[in-house]
Structure 1
Amino acid sequence: MFSFFSNRKPKRFDYKPRYQKNTEDNNKEKRVSFKNKKYSDAMYSRYDRTPFTDLKKEGKKRITIKVIVLVVLLSILILYLDRIEEILKNFN
């Protein structure tokens, strides 16, 4: 009875993103007979799947771009700190 109220985490499912192919492509495809082909192969061929490794590579690219931009901005701020202080003093 008390196990119903326990605070354990639910199981985590790692779903791969699935994108259904364009309807134009679906119209051009031949119907698959499941007698000749496995059901799972026919089902998976309906979707364009992006592998997790590709998603991971894109994420790493985005992170490196953000890091490079931040490093450049920080270096510019450090180099021109004196000039920025002078401009702010004159502004007041």
Structure 2
Amino acid sequence: MNYMPGTASLIEDIDKKHLVLLRDGRTLIGFLRSIDQFANLVLHQTVERIHVGKKYGDIPRGIFVVRGENVVLLGEIVSENC
């Protein structure tokens, strides 16, 4: 596999399920549909996951556009049990 610098390395992750942690503490889970050079993201079938103790609930959000400067963490979700 060839190394691609910056956000270009995320091209291979398009259409995969990702977890995104935002700067304000929110957690989003959705399918990555688009990304640009500023790391702005478009997520599809997005849910916002709310944690209370050891339990959690998901709030459907639909299509979600995230400005790149607000992304703290972006990771692919491999298991369907989350």
**Structures share fold, TM-score greater than 0.5:** no
Normalising by structure 2, what TM-score? 0.23
- Provide TM-score, normalisation by structure 1: 0.21
Q: Which structure is higher in helix share?
A: 1
Larger strand percent: 2
Task: Return the index of the structure with the highest Cα Rg.
Answer: 1
